[in-house]
A and B are shown apart, each in its own frame.
Chain A
Amino acid sequence: MIIGAWISVFLTLAILSYLYKDNLFYKVAEHVFVGISTGYWTSMFFWTQIQPNLFGRLWPATEYDASSLWYKFYNVFGVFSSVFPEGGIAKGHDMHLIYLVPFALGIMMLLSVSSKLSWMARWGIAYTVGMAAGLRAYGFLNSNVIGQIKGSAFQLVNSNLPYFALVGESIFNNFVILIGTITGLMYFYFSREHTGNFGRLTKVGIYFLMISFGASFGFAVMGRISLLIGRFVDLIHYSSSAYNHATLWILLIMVVLLGYSAFMDKSAPIEPPVK
């Protein structure tokens, strides 16, 4: 627990030291991050997707038959008992041998590590691209286009709504949203030159888009500052005596080492140009 706290503080401060300049601590932390996150996601995806959903459908426990050839294969792999436990994989699936297709495509993808066989990944990628295109085309058209257009439509003459209200619905507000949406969309129509009356409308459109981007910028700043607050809260928590003042010691050591290296850089003699 305490070792974990010290490691956590060291890694946090190492990344933050980049703000001073690119240095040894940052590079170490960055490379550790690359290695650990690769390993983390590999393990995570293997245990949550491949093992239960792929292997669990190729060798399910419900149809385990020690005498069949297929399960004899399985028992050979059973030497890795963590992945292939005794008696098949019990994840609530039935056998679907058609899953050999994604298995084969997946193996082809892995084989493409070698530069001679790099074309093999294209089959798996083609499947992924085709599937995503088919599914997303319908999904996005339905929810993002039709759904949003439906949301913009409103009753122009609705006696229930006030003409203008700062908070809550009002006819003026609905009108603003409708005009903004239409002119914003007009701006994205580049097949026609933005001149004349069309140009004036697209200018209004871009003003609405700019307000939207400004709001997004405000929210982005808000989000980043919140994350920074979270990190500082953790660092302050780890500076308490329960963790042997981890934050303070590591900060001191880093400042001393970085200051020393900055001093050495400044006082190093300038090398004469090679003749």
Chain B
Amino acid sequence: MLWKRQIPILIATVIGLLTLFGWFIDNPGIESFVNDDATQWFDILASFAIFLGALNLMKLQGKKVLKQHSGWQYSLFAIGGFIFAIVAGFIYKGNDAVSWGFHVTSKGTLFKWMFDFIFTPLSATMFALLAFFVASASYRAFRVRNLEATLLLVSGIIIMVGRVPLGSSISSWFIMYLLVLVGSIAANIKLQDKIITFGVLLGGVVIVTIWGSLAGWPVDQPSIFYLPMLQDWIYNNPNVAGARAIMIGIGLGIFATSIRYILGVEKSYIGE
């Protein structure tokens, strides 16, 4: 029990306190440990964690094949892919001009070939699939149920259209007419009076038309209705405010959680 519980918590506490106070202590030995060695050890252990993950994965896939669970044939492909990558990484270089170690970042090797023609298409396409699911979600799930959802969708739409070349081709007068239309629909829903609705619509159209003809229909004036400008303002101001609030919140949260780990209050990493 000592080995399984007390010692890990002790390790976390000691190392945590050392690295935290290492920022403030002037001792050169501790400083060099915190600045250089501590991060190196962290990266080394992270690498071993990757190896552990790989071993576990192969153990699972191997079990599936040996016990012939459903879909075991696909596991053969997983194991085959892993073996091919290991061969390219450790056994067959494919380019004798390059030394071991450099071969993972040099051209002309089997590893680079695997990276270009197998790993890259697979990982890029997996990400690209999300484009389709985003489109499907936009259609079937994003509903304007309340003011918050409306703000989210409207700012999303303005950013999406304003950021691409299409947005700069849409005249601000078009947006103004659109707003008049939306305003009259809203008036219709709220007041349920055909005369008022029609009045709002007609009045809005007349005002915009007169204003536009006087101004000469410039594409980007009045700039508050020109999508790229509006998008820029939203992007630089309320958006930054929200992003900043989230950043500060996350920073405080990380600080609090780190202190909990160091003090041994949080023990989830050993499974409790």
Q: In the complex, are there CB atoms of A and B closer than 8 Å?
A: yes
In whole angstroms, how far apart are the Cα atoms of A41 and B117 in the complex? Answer: 16
Do the beta carbons of B126 and A33 come within 8 Å of each other? yes
Most chain A beta carbons < 10 A, residue from B124, B248, B250: B248
Provide the main secondary structure of the chain A interface.
helix
Do the beta carbons of B8 and A36 come within 8 Å of each other? no
Residues of A within 8 A of B218 (CB): none
Tell me the smallest distance from the CB of B35 to a CB of chain A, in Å.
Answer: 10
> What are the interface flags for A1-34 relative to B under an 8 Å C-beta threshold, 1 for contact and 0 otherwise?
0001101110110011011000000011111111
Tell me the smallest distance from the CB of A154 to a CB of chain B, in Å.
Answer: 13
Contact A125-B122, Cβ < 8 Å, known A184-B242, A208-B242 = no
Contact A231-B118, Cβ < 8 Å, known A145-B252, A208-B242 = no
In whole angstroms, how far apart are the Cα atoms of A212 and B152 in the complex? Answer: 8
Asked if B179 is an interface residue, CB under 8 A from chain A, the answer is: no
In whole angstroms, how far apart are the Cα atoms of A203 and B234 in the complex? Answer: 19
Tell me the smallest distance from the CB of B150 to a CB of chain A, in Å.
Answer: 9
Residues of A within 8 A of B38 (CB): 131, 135
How many B residues touch the partner, as a band? 35 or more
> What are the interface flags for B250-263 relative to A under an 8 Å C-beta threshold, 1 for contact and 0 otherwise?
11101101110110
Do the beta carbons of B251 and A180 come within 8 Å of each other? no
How many A residues touch the partner, as a band? 35 or more
Do the beta carbons of A214 and B16 come within 8 Å of each other? no
Cβ < 8 Å to B, chain A residues 39-97: 39-54, 82-83, 85, 96
Chain A to chain B contacts (Cβ below 8 Å), 20 pairs: A27-B74, A39-B81, A46-B51, A105-B45, A109-B49, A113-B55, A122-B269, A123-B7, A124-B49, A129-B12, A137-B258, A144-B250, A166-B224, A176-B241, A210-B149, A221-B138, A224-B131, A230-B128, A231-B121, A231-B125
